[in-house]
Amino acid sequence: MNVIRCLHITDLKEAVHQIEAVGMDPKGVEWMKGKALHFNLRVEGIDPKAANLLKQEMLSLGGEVALDGRSLDCSLTSTDGLLMGSQQQFEKLIQKLDLYPPMQKLSQTLKQTFQNILKDRFILSCRRKTFELHKKTLLMGILNVTPDSFSDGGLFYEKEKAIAHAMKMVEEGADIIDVGGESTRPGSKPLGLEEELRRILPVIETLVKKTDVPLSIDTYKSEVARRAIEAGAEIINDISGLHFDPELAQVAAKEKTPIVLMHIRGIPETMQKDIHYRSLFSEMIAYLQEAIQRAESAGVSPEQILIDPGIGFGKTLEHNLLIIKHLSEFRVLGKPILLGTSRKSFIGKILDTPPDQRLEGTLSSIAIGVLNGAHIIRAHDVLQAKRAIAVADAIRRAGG
C-alpha cells in the first residue's frame, strides 16, 4: 500500500531535511532545495506591457502570473500581478529580467524581497545584552506607569508599585521590560512632555540599578526617548513608526539604540473611528517601509530596526485576526517582528469578556503569533505568556 503525505514546507531547512530523508545525494539536495519552496508574490502597479513580459518569462520557467485580463491589450494604465512559482523559478526570473533595462528596477525589488523573506538570523543588540532572535522568541513585559491604560490603568502608577511589578515580571522570565507613561488606548488624548517624564524617569533610574534585563521606553516623543536612554533605557518602542515625531530617529541613531516601528492608522484619539483600508496589508507594508527608510536615512543601523503590525491601532476585529493569521507576510520587510495582542479588545469581542478575563484568548493569540513568525511577544501576564511561548517555540523547532 502506498502512503501519501502532503508536506508543509515553509523554509529551506525543512526543504533540505525532507529531500535528504528520501536518500538524495548532497549535490541533488543543493539543486532541488529551491524547487521545494513555493511562493506567491503579489506585485502592485505594474505597467501592462511589463506585466505581459513578466508573464511570458515566468511561463517559460514553468511558473505562472495572474493578471487583470485587460492588461493583455494594454487597455488599463497599470495592473497588479500574482506571481506563482518555486524559489528556483524566481531566481531564474530575476536573472532574465536583469537583461531588460525597463525591468531592472523590478528585478532588484524581487531580489531584495527574497533576501528578506529567506533571512533567518536576527540579532538584537542592547547595551548590556545581545539576543539571537532566531533561536527563541523573546518576551517583553508591559509596565504601564499610567492612571488610565485600558487594561491595568492605575495599578502601577505609583513608583514603588511599578518597580515591584517590574521585578516580579523579571522573576517570571521577562526578557525586556517595556515602560510607558502615556496611555495610547483608543480615544486617549496626548500627554504633556513633562508629565510623561515625571512618570517614567524615576522608575527607569531605579530599575536599571536592580536588574540587567533591558528596559524599553514606550514613547513617540524624541525628548522622552532621549531622557529615558540617559536614565538607562536600551530600546525605543514607537507606536507611530516615526510619523508623530520624526526626530525620534535621530535619537535612536545617535544613541545606537534598537527601535520598534509600529503601524498605526491615525492617532490614538481617533484611530478606531471610520476604519477603512483599500488594501490592508499593502497599506501597512508601505507605511512600515516608509518608517524603515526614515530610520535608516537618519543613521539607524538596519540591524537595529524591528517592526510591529500594531494590533488594535486603527484596525477592526477582522483586520486583527487577518494580521495574526498572515503575520508571515511581514517577512518581506526583512526585520524582526514584535507582536502585541495582550488583553486587547478583539479578544474581548470574541470571548465577550473584560480586559482582566482575556488570559486564555491572549495565550492562544501568542502561540499562533509565534508559529507565524513573531520574534518578540509583548504581554501583561508574563509567567503564563512565557510558558505559552516555550511550547510554541518547541513546536516551531520540532524536526530540526
Active-site positions read 344, 378
Any idea how long the chain is? 400
Burial label for 91, CB within 10 Å (0-12, 13-18, 19+), is: middle
177: its cell numbers: 521590560
How many angstroms separate the CA atoms of 384 and 242, rounded?
A: 32
Tell me the Cα Rg of the chain.
23
C-beta atoms surrounding 220 within 10 Å: 24
User: What Cα–Cα distance (Å) separates residue 198 from each residue in 132, 183, 232?
Assistant: 34, 14, 15
104: its cell numbers: 531592472
Backbone angles phi, psi at 222, to 5 degrees: -65, -40
DSSP secondary structure letters along 263-308: --SS-TTTTTSS---SSHHHHHHHHHHHHHHHHHHTT--GGGEEEE
Burial label for 387, CB within 10 Å (0-12, 13-18, 19+), is: middle
Strand locations in 152-191 (E): 176-180
Q: Which residues contact 10 (CB under 8 A, 6 or more apart)?
A: 37, 328
How many angstroms separate the CA atoms of 221 and 242, rounded?
A: 9
CB 386 within 8 A of CB 376: no
